[in-house]
Structure 1
C-alpha cells in the first residue's frame, strides 16, 4: 500500500508539500498540485482520514443518531441533513439506535473515536450527563435534554390544537387521539396536551390511546386501532400523532366498512411523502422537515465557529387539508 512518502518521492516533492496539497494549506502552485494528484492516482494512494483530521483538528464528519431509519419521518430528515451537510463539505455518519440505550451509548463512543465535528441527536435514551461530557457540538431534535444543549422542534402545541380544532369544526362528536407513550416526556407530548385542551373547551367526547414504550414499532399500530374501533364503534374522528399511525387508521376503516371522510375523519402529523400516496390523501399537520435538517447543521456550524446561537428553536407548523377530512 502506497504511503505519503511514496507519493512525495515519485512526484519529486517533499512530504510537507504533499501534506499541504491534501489539507489545502499554504501556497501550492497549480502545476505542483496537479503533479501530486496525478501521482496519488497513479499509486492509488488513499489518505489516512483520521491522521488528517488530527492535523486539521476537524474531521468534516457529523454524526446523526436517530431511533429508526425505517421510519419515514427520520429517513426524510436524514436525507435533508445529509444533503445540506454535503453542500458545506461535510460527510454524515448515520446511527440507528432503535431506542436501545446500550446501542446509543456504543454509537456515541464510536463517534467520539472518529472525532466527528458534531452530533445531531434525534434519539435520546441515555442520561443527560452522557451528552454533557462529550465536549463536541450537539443539537437535539424534538428532545429538550438540557438547558446547555440547543434543540430544534416544530410547534407541537400549535399542531395539536390545529388538528383538534379542524375535527371539531368538521362536526366530529367523538374523537380519538392516538399518540406515543406519554411517559417518555417528549416534546411531542404537547400535541396531546393541546388536543385535550381543545376537547375540554369545546365539550367534545374523546379518548386517548397511547402506544407502548417503543413508539416507532409499527407492528402494534394495527392492533391498537383495531381494538379502538371495537371499543368505540361510534368514533367519527381520529387525530394520530404521526402519518404512519394515521395510515393504519385508514386501513382499519376500510376493513370495518367505514367511509372516509363521511363516517370517520382522520388527521395525521408530519406530512411525510406517503401522506399523498394514500387514498384518500391524508390531511396532516406539516412539520418543516427540510428546515429542521438545515437548522441542525447550521447550529453545529455555529458552535464549531464559536458564534452566537439560540438554544430554543421552535419552527411553525401548517395544517394541510386533504381528502381524509
Structure 2
C-alpha cells in the first residue's frame, strides 16, 4: 500500500508539500498540486483520514443517530441530512440505535473515537447527562435536554390542534387518538395534549391509546388498532401520531367493512412519501422533514464555527387533506 513518502519521492517534493496539498494549507503552485494529485492517482494512494483529522482538528464527518432506519420518517430525514451535509463538504455516519441503550452508547463512543465534527441525535434512550458530557457539537430532534443544547421540533401542539379540529368539523362524534408512549417525554407528546384540549373544549367523546415503549415497532400497531375497533365499534374518527399507524387504521377499516371516509375518518402525521401511495391517500399533518434535516446540519456548523445560534427551533406544520377525511 502506497504511503505519503512514496508520493513525495515519486513527485520529487517533500512530505510536507504533499501534506499541504492534501490539507489545502499554505501556498502550493498549481503545477505542483496537479503533479501530486497525478502521482496519488497512479499509486492509488488513500490518505489516512484519521491522521488528517487530527492535523486539521476537523473530520468533516457528522454523526446521525436515529431509532430505526426502517421507519420512513427517519429514513427520509437521514436522506435530507446526508444530502445537505454533502453539499457543505461533510460526510455522514448513520447509526441505527433500535432504541437500545447499550447500542446507542456504543455508537456515541464510536463517534467520539472517530472525532466527528458533530452529532445529530434523533434517538434518546440514554440519560440526559450522557449527552451533556459530549465534547462535540450536538443537536437533538424532538427532545429538549438542556438549555445549552439546541433542539429542533415541528410545532407539535399546532399539529395536534389542527388534526383534532378537522375531525370535529367533519362531524366525528367519537374519536380515537393513537400515540407513542407518553412516558418517553418527547416533544411529540404536545400533539396528544393539544388533542385532549380540543376534545374537552368541544365536548367530544374520545379515547387515547398508547404504544409500548418501543414506539417504532410496527408489529404492535395491527394488534392495537384491531383491539381498538373491537372495544369501540362506534368510532368514527382516528388521529394517529404517524402516517404508518394511520395506514394500519386504514387496513383495519377495510377488514371490518368500514368505509373511509364515510364511516371512519383518519388523519396521520408526518406526510411521509407513503401517505400519498396509500389507497385511499392519507390526510396528514405535514412535518417539514427536509427543513428539519437542513436546520440540524446548520446548527452543527454554527457550533463548530462558534457562531450564535437559536437553542429552540420550532418549525411550522401544515394540514394536507386527502381522501381519508
Q: Which residue of 2 aligns with 1:158?
A: 158
Q: Which residue of 1 aligns with 2:306?
A: 306
Q: Which residue of 1 aligns with 2:22?
A: 22
Deviation at 1:27, TM superposition (A): 1.2
2:100 paired with 1:100: yes
Deviation at 1:127, TM superposition (A): 1.1
Q: Which residue of 2 aligns with 1:126?
A: 126
Q: Report the secondary structure of 1:110's partner residue.
A: helix
- TM-score normalised by L of structure 2: 0.99
Deviation at 1:148, TM superposition (A): 1.5
Correspondences of 1:218-297 after superposition (within 5 Å): 218-297=218-297
Measured in 2, the distance between the counterparts of 1:2 and 1:299 equals 38
Measured in 1, the distance between the counterparts of 2:133 and 2:208 equals 38
Deviation at 1:94, TM superposition (A): 0.2
Measured in 1, the distance between the counterparts of 2:270 and 2:51 equals 41
- TM-score normalised by L of structure 1: 0.99
1:160-186 deviations in Å (ceiling 9; x for gaps): 000000000000000000000011111
Query: How many residues align structurally?
Result: 325
1:226-283 deviations in Å (ceiling 9; x for gaps): 0001000000000000000000000000000000000000000000000000111100
Q: Which residue of 2 aligns with 1:89?
A: 89
Q: Which residue of 2 aligns with 1:53?
A: 53
Q: Which residue of 1 aligns with 2:315?
A: 315
Deviation at 1:44, TM superposition (A): 1.0
Q: Which residue of 2 aligns with 1:12?
A: 12
Measured in 1, the distance between the counterparts of 2:252 and 2:132 equals 44
Runs of 4+ in 1 over 6 A off after TM superposition: none
Deviation at 1:128, TM superposition (A): 1.2
- Structure 2: 5+ residue stretches without partners: none
Deviation at 1:28, TM superposition (A): 1.0
Measured in 2, the distance between the counterparts of 1:9 and 1:310 equals 50
Measured in 1, the distance between the counterparts of 2:110 and 2:179 equals 33
Measured in 2, the distance between the counterparts of 1:321 and 1:218 equals 24
Measured in 2, the distance between the counterparts of 1:121 and 1:324 equals 33
Measured in 2, the distance between the counterparts of 1:125 and 1:147 equals 19
Deviation at 1:132, TM superposition (A): 1.2
Q: Report the secondary structure of 2:143's partner residue.
A: coil
Q: Which residue of 1 aligns with 2:201?
A: 201
Measured in 1, the distance between the counterparts of 2:112 and 2:68 equals 21
Q: Which residue of 2 aligns with 1:184?
A: 184
Q: Report the secondary structure of 2:63's partner residue.
A: strand
Query: What's the C-alpha RMSD, in Å, of the aligned pairs?
Result: 0.5
Deviation at 1:6, TM superposition (A): 0.5
Deviation at 1:15, TM superposition (A): 0.4
1:129-159 deviations in Å (ceiling 9; x for gaps): 1111111100000011111111000000000
Measured in 2, the distance between the counterparts of 1:190 and 1:129 equals 24
